[in-house]
C-alpha cells in the first residue's frame, strides 16, 4: 500500500510541477502518479516490486545505484533534497529519498525500467547459453576423436 494515500489525510504534491499526486494501480502495484507531468512516485519497496514483474532474482539484477549526485527535487513525503543515481549503470537517472521514502520516476521512466530489466534477463540467458556451449566445445576438444584429428593434421 502506498504511504502517500489521501485516505491517510495527507496530500502529496509532485516534486516536479507541484500537482497533487493521485493513487493508481500500475502493474498490480499501488503507486502515486502526477496527473499533470505523468511522473510516478514509488514507495521504497515498490521499485523492486516493479522490477519483479519482469525478473524477481535480486542477485541477478545487479547493483541498482551508480554515479550518485544531488538532485534538483525534494522528496514529496518528507521534503528532504533527493539524490539522483544512474539506474543499474544505464543512462537512466532516477531520484530517490535518502531517508528511504521512495523513488521519483519522470514520465515514461517506469517503462524504461521494465525494458532494461527485460534486456538484462535476455542478456543473462544468452550468456548462460554461451557458457553451456563453451563447456560442450571444451569437452569435445578433450575427446579421443578430436585429439586423433589434431595428430593426423600434424603428421600430414
Task: Give 10-residue mean pLDDT values along the chain (156 residues).
Answer: 46 95 96 98 95 78 80 96 92 96 97 91 65 59 67 74
Residue 106 in domain: yes
Residue 103 in domain: yes
Please tell me the pTM assigned to this model.
Answer: 0.72
pLDDT confidence of residue 34:
98
Q: Which residues of 112-126 are buried (b: 16+ CB within 10 A; e: fewer)?
A: bbbebbeebeeeeee
Domain count, the chain: 1
Range of the domain at 82: 6-155
User: What is the Cα–Cα distance from 104 to 38, expressed in whole angstroms?
Assistant: 11
pLDDT confidence of residue 86:
93
pLDDT confidence of residue 62:
64
Residue 1 in domain: no
pLDDT confidence of residue 61:
64
Amino acid at each position: 500500500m502506498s504511504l502517500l494515500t489521501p485516505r491517510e489525510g495527507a496530500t502529496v504534491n509532485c516534486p516536479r510541477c507541484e500537482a497533487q499526486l493521485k493513487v493508481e494501480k500500475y502493474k498490480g502495484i499501488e503507486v502515486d502518479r502526477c496527473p499533470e507531468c505523468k511522473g510516478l512516485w514509488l514507495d521504497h519497496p515498490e521499485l523492486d516490486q516493479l522490477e519483479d514483474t519482469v525478473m524477481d532474482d535480486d542477485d541477478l539484477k545487479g547493483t541498482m545505484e551508480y554515479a550518485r549526485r544531488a538532485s534538483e527535487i525534494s522528496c514529496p513525503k518528507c521534503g528532504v533534497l533527493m539524490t539522483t543515481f544512474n539506474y543499474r549503470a544505464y543512462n537512466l537517472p532516477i531520484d530517490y529519498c535518502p531517508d528511504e521514502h521512495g523513488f521519483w520516476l519522470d514520465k515514461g521512466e517506469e517503462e524504461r525500467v521494465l525494458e532494461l530489466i527485460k534486456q538484462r534477463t535476455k542478456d543473462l540467458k544468452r550468456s548462460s547459453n554461451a557458457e553451456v556451449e563453451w563447456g560442450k566445445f571444451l569437452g569435445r576438444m578433450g575427446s579421443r576423436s578430436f585429439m586423433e584429428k589434431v595428430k593426423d593434421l600434424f603428421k600430414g
